[in-house]
Amino acid sequence: MAKIRFLGTCSGTEPFENMHHTSFVIEEKGRTYWFDAGENCSRLAFLQGVDMLSVSSIFISHPHIDHIGGLLNLILLIRQQIWRKDGNPVDGEVKLFVPLDELWESLRKLINITDSRVFSVMNIPTKTIKDGLVFDNGDIRVTTLHNEHEGIPEDGIWNSYSFAIEVAGKKIVYSGDIEWLSELDALVDNGCDMLI
């Protein structure tokens, strides 16, 4: 049975006591799937007992800092756990799904500056998100749809996405940040079990 852990549920705000920027994980069949990475997400997950070596995939809805502010530390914490336990995450890699190639290119440079050993023990294949099915391993299925949170791009390249997540016979729709509620209509078509 899938388990959802909320690590942060506020976004675009100043810090509030006991609240953190957007991030949640879904644990299913020994693997952990990460959605957005607001500040403190890896610390909170670690303290809640999430097995950092089970992180299989990370999905980023859009490149605003309240959704990616903890991504670097998340990757470094996973690397630290691999180093200490001399093990590997599931499948020996952590897949990263991002809306912009530039996001990962910038983060990769920063990782190399802060801890060049990361890539000696971690494989982080990256896929740029587009509308449609982006992930399906038989246990979890993730479909994306662009939204207007960052406006309508002149170049046609969308920077912000919402997700439909199908796991353990349930459908979860995660908006990320959106401009209009109607942007979720196609994802909640035929209903959903949870809307985040």
Do residues 69 and 33 touch, judged by C-beta distance below 8 A? no
Do residues 146 and 160 touch, judged by C-beta distance below 8 A? yes
Query: What token pair was written down for 88?
Result: 């590997």
Angle (CA) 148-153-157 rounded to 5° is: 100
Angle (CA) 173-76-40 rounded to 5° is: 55
- Lowest-pLDDT range of 33-47, 68-82, 132-146, 182-196: 68-82
- 162 contacts: CB under 8 Å, gap ≥ 6: 61, 144, 145, 146, 147, 173, 174, 175, 176, 178, 183, 184, 187
166-178 pLDDT, tens per residue? Answer: 999 999 999 999 9
| Helix ranges restricted to H, 92-148 | 101-114, 118-121
Q: pLDDT at position 92, please?
A: 63
105-155 pLDDT, tens per residue? Answer: 888 898 888 877 787 778 899 999 999 999 999 999 999 999 999 999 999
Do residues 68 and 60 touch, judged by C-beta distance below 8 A? yes
Single pTM value for the model: 0.93
Query: What percentage of the chain carries pLDDT values higher than 70?
Result: 95
Please, what's the b/e burial string for 101-130 (b: 16 or more CB within 10 A of its CB; e: otherwise)?
eebbeebbeebeeebeebeebbebebeebe
> Going along the chain, which residue ranges are E strands?
3-8, 23-28, 31-35, 55-59, 95-98, 126-128, 132-136, 140-146, 161-167, 170-174, 194-195
Angle (CA) 132-189-184 rounded to 5° is: 65
Q: How many CB atoms lie within 10 A of CB 72?
A: 17
